Amino acid sequence: MLRTFQENELTSFYLTRKTMRNAIFLAVLSLAACSNPKNPVQSEISNFQTTGSVERLDSAINALIPANAKIEVLASGFEWAEGPLWLEEQRALIFTDVPTNKIWKWTEQDSLSLYLEPSGYLGDRTDKNEPGANGLALDAVGNLILCQHGERQIGKMLASLESPKSEFLALASEYEGKRFNSPNDLVFNSKGQLFFTDPPYGMDPWDEKQLDFQGVYRLDSDGKVNLLIDSLSRPNGVALSPDQRTLYIAQSDPEKARYYAFDLDEIGNVVSGKVLFDATSLQGESRKGLPDGLKVHSSGTLFATGPGGVLVISAEGKHLGTILTENGTANCAFDSEEKYLYMTADAFLLRISLK
């Protein structure tokens, strides 16, 4: 267990993602039906609008993103889109809208539809800032596993993916008798171990913060929760290298906007760690966002949301370029063939083609 990788703490435990991200994208895209944020809509399938661009800093990025690739706007009107997850059998992408406590489903054929409501908070309060589910994953047998902000737990949906229902089993809700802050993002390894982060973004001012740190944990198949790291100020996105021996953590601290790489032993414990890439200096009005969700391509390259959109970073920590989305970007996901990278960027669902 690594508990000495120290970072300075921010002063407030109750900063929501809305206050941590930069101002919302003001130059609203000219989508015909996107004027009402309460009714998310899809662009026309035959003619998706496009936005942004690809910044190419190293020629290695050309092996991943075609020269003519465009960022397509698939849907819009969300409060804060997050947690994209590809469902291969349905050829569908599901993703969360954290403030509205919903999960949406998008397919090329059937467009946009509501998949699950509520997703992360089952109580009666209507004044919670970020009650919904955040990160999503599938376990080895295809169950939907959710980071549930409002319930402050890792939950499993009891219904099937084809017939979703808001019925959940809590897989983990506390560490050493103290409630989690608000589990944020998660990733499974091939052994069925679940790694997840626990910053305080889903907490409201009246919530009792029982842990005095923001942890990175491993949930084993026997239900045991293991604390791996307690020294990062704002651990957020989490991913594993293709060989599953490196754990990547994105830290959404504006003072130390970084991506970390932690070496794991054969048991899944952290044995060492380093800063893989520091994106603090990239922040600015023209590059909205902080390190958030990230995914690892089969090549070992990281696609990591952060200042400007999605940073493309080699396994050695070299910044190859950025998919500039023109929005604060929360998370991303590949389809099963890595044909596309799907991105949740503020009010938008986006995608870009890959090689």
C-alpha–C-alpha distance, residues 212 and 352, integer Å: 40
Residue 254: both structure tokens together:
């504006």
Contact 134, 183 (CB under 8 A): yes
Q: How far apart are CA 331 and CA 84, in angstroms?
A: 7
How confident is the model over 133-187, as pLDDT tens digits?
Answer: 999 999 999 999 999 999 999 999 999 999 999 999 999 999 999 999 999 999 9
Tokens of 235: 């651990």
Alpha-carbon distances of 55 from 141, 150, 178, 304, 331, rounded to whole Å: 39, 37, 44, 14, 18
Burial (0-12, 13-18, 19+ Cβ within 10 Å), 278: middle
Q: What residues contact residue 214 under an 8 Å CB cut-off, 6+ apart?
A: 181, 197, 198, 199, 200, 230, 232, 233, 234, 235
Phi, psi of 194 (to 5 degrees): -110, 120
Instruction: State the pLDDT at residue 47.
Output: 76
For residues 190 and 244, is the Cβ–Cβ distance under 8 A?
A: yes
Give the model's pLDDT for residue 7.
42
pTM over 0.75: yes
Order the strands of the 294-296 sheet from edge to edge.
Answer: 53-56, 319-324, 309-313, 302-306, 294-296
Q: Please list the ranges in the chain whose pLDDT falls under 50.
A: 1-37, 44-46
* Per-residue CA distances from 145 to 2, 157, 202, 325 (Å): 26, 6, 17, 28
Q: How far apart are CA 258 and CA 275, in angstroms?
A: 7
